[in-house]
Amino acid sequence: MSSNHPVTIQRLDGESSSRLLDAVAVEEPLEIRLSLDLLMPGDHKPVSITMRTPGHDDELAVGFLFSEGILASPAQIRNVSHWGRPPPGKAERNVAVVELAPDVDIDLARLERHFYTTSSCGVCGKTSIDALRQERPFANSDASSFHITTETLLALPDALREHQASFGVTGGLHATGLFNAQGEVVLVREDVGRHNAMDKVIGRLFLDDKLPAADYGMIVSGRTSFELMQKAAMAGVSTLIAIGAPSSLAIEMAEEFGMTLVGFMRDGRCNVYANGQRIS
């Protein structure tokens, strides 16, 4: 499944005009469904539709379900597969089914919110303000040992950019990177939706049973919203770095959860918005 799509464009440059081949980021819907024992065989319960860039859809599905408090452990999952009728002319299957292991007990009330998430905002479909804030499973995990030097911190944007292959082609994808205290970016996922990119990273960690990620920080290619702070907090990450600006609620959440929040990482400088004690 390709993350970019070729298009023919007309380029205007001053008074000249030319036609050439370009590439744009792919945006397609993905429906996330659950398969539970209590349903009839072959039946699936729709949970969410998200507009995403195809690729790593299994990570996206389980990362979303974990960050929404529906899944708690990889042992709850028997299988993740693509299912459904592909759209006309497409080979991709735009339905991801998460099949739960027998006798798994989940909070079905959480599934009644009928999520619909766009590539620009991941919480638009939630039906109440209370539904925005999730209970953090790793709230008591020890993340205080994570520290990073200023020199290492300021090198992170370039380190992330080296892994953004699809962005290099299209210029239209967000990225989330997982990095250690030495500044090594060890995992990167790209997507047209910034929340999807983070869900893919979290989903990979979840499937590998590597949560909480207390020994790592996250860097995002754009701005920092409430939702990204919450997803990082759900994963047990103590430090979130952004190339762009944070929102007021993102700063409030960082202070509430004791997380380090850094923004405007550019030109060898940055702003520390909360809990700068992890930066030396």
CATH number of the domain within which 42 lies: 3.10.20.10
Domain span at residue 68?
28-132
In a domain, 274, yes or no: yes
pLDDT score at 27 = 87
Between 99 and 2, residue with greater pLDDT: 99
In a domain, 177, yes or no: yes
**Residue 173 and residue 108 in one domain:** no
In a domain, 120, yes or no: yes
**Residue 70 and residue 120 in one domain:** yes
pLDDT, mean over the chain: 84
**Residue 64 and residue 174 in one domain:** no
In a domain, 108, yes or no: yes
pLDDT score at 42 = 60
Does position 208 have pLDDT exceeding 70, yes or no? yes
Mean pLDDT of 186-203: 95
pLDDT score at 78 = 92
Q: Sign of torsion, CA 169 175 178 181?
A: positive
Mean pLDDT of 159-186: 84
Count of domains in the chain? 2
Environment class of residue 251 by beta-carbon count within 10 Å: exposed (0-12), middle (13-18) or buried (19+)?
Answer: middle
Sheet holding 115-117, edge to edge: 77-82, 95-100, 28-35, 45-52, 115-117
Output the six-digit token pair for 162.
């080296």
**Residue 60 and residue 87 in one domain:** yes
pLDDT score at 2 = 72
Q: Which of 132, 165, 181 is the last residue before a domain boundary?
A: 132
- The answer to whether 93 and 82 have CB atoms below 8 angstroms apart is yes
Q: Which H or E element spans position 248?
A: helix 248-257
In a domain, 11, yes or no: no
**Residue 44 and residue 109 in one domain:** yes
Q: How far apart are CA 129 and CA 221, in angstroms?
A: 27
Q: Give me the long-range contacts of 227-231 (CB less than 8 A, separation at least 24).
A: 227/122, 227/123, 227/195, 228/194, 228/195, 228/198, 229/253, 229/254, 229/257, 229/259, 229/261, 230/67, 230/132, 230/133, 230/134, 231/67, 231/195, 231/198, 231/199, 231/202
Phi first, then psi: give them for residue 26, nearest 5 degrees.
-80, 135
Contacts of 146 (CB under 8 A, 6+ apart): 181, 214, 215, 216, 217, 238, 239, 278
In a domain, 145, yes or no: no
**Residue 74 and residue 164 in one domain:** no
Q: What is the CATH number of the domain that holds 193?
A: 3.40.140.10
Confidence tier at 146 by pLDDT (50, 70, 90) = very high
Output the six-digit token pair for 164.
């953004």
In a domain, 110, yes or no: yes
Between 110 and 82, residue with greater pLDDT: 82
pLDDT score at 94 = 86
* Residue linked to tokens 């962005």: 167
Active-site pick, 121, 124, 132, 245? 121
- The answer to whether 51 and 29 have CB atoms below 8 angstroms apart is yes
pLDDT score at 158 = 92
User: Per mean pLDDT, which range of 33-37, 57-61, 133-137, 252-256 is the poorest?
Assistant: 133-137
Output the six-digit token pair for 51.
């507009």
Q: Which of 132, 165, 185 is the last residue before a domain boundary?
A: 132
**Residue 154 and residue 127 in one domain:** no
- The answer to whether 71 and 235 have CB atoms below 8 angstroms apart is no
pLDDT score at 15 = 85
Decide: pTM greater than 0.85: yes
121 catalytic residue (yes or no): yes
Does position 239 have pLDDT exceeding 90, yes or no? yes
In a domain, 192, yes or no: yes
pLDDT score at 228 = 94
